[in-house]
Amino acid sequence: MSKKITVLRDTQPTVLLDATKWEKLSGDPHTVNLNAYTSEDGSKLMGTWMCTPGKWAVNYTKWEYCDFREGYCILTPEGGEPIHLKAGDIFVVEPGFQGTWEVVETVRKYFVFA
């Protein structure tokens, strides 16, 4: 059985403005999602996320891979130390992460949710 391959070279992303489900805590952040791929069952998603400065309370229920291309943000786990992330950083957020996500300088990242 051959596996399917999706080439995203000519993809026309679905654009979603201010689509985050997270609770805004401060600032006036605005987001743009360019969703380039969604699996048939909707459980996997990949694309580009851009966001202006602001802060949210977050509660991850899915695994997320992030490749920061521009900007600077701070993720702070509940009861933990802040994690400073900037352009060039690649990281994973595990399901169960709770805390805050603060965009300090406008961010552009590639993401995969699974």
Q: Evaluate whether 53 touches 106 at the Cβ level (below 8 Å).
A: yes
Structural domain includes residue 98: yes
Structural domain includes residue 2: no
Name the residue range of residue 88's domain: 8-113
* Residue 14 β-bridge partners: 35
Question: What is the domain-level CATH number for residue 92?
Answer: 2.60.120.10
Contacts of residue 11, defined as CB under 8 A and 6 or more positions apart, other chains included, come to 36, 37
Structural domain includes residue 38: yes
Q: Evaluate whether 101 touches 71 at the Cβ level (below 8 Å).
A: no
Q: What is the 8-class DSSP label of residue 6?
A: -
Per-residue pLDDT for the chain (114 aa), expressed as one digit of tens each? Answer: 446 777 777 777 778 888 788 889 999 999 999 888 888 888 899 999 999 999 999 999 999 999 999 999 999 999 999 999 999 999 999 999 999 999 999 999 999 999
Q: Could you give the number of structural domains in the chain?
A: 1
Structural domain includes residue 47: yes
User: Rounded CA gap, 12 and 49, in Å?
Assistant: 15
Single out the residue of 112, 29, 114, 32 nearest to residue 73, CA to CA.
29
CA 76, 96, 56, 114 torsion-angle sign:
positive
Structural domain includes residue 54: yes
Structural domain includes residue 3: no
Structural domain includes residue 21: yes
Structural domain includes residue 39: yes
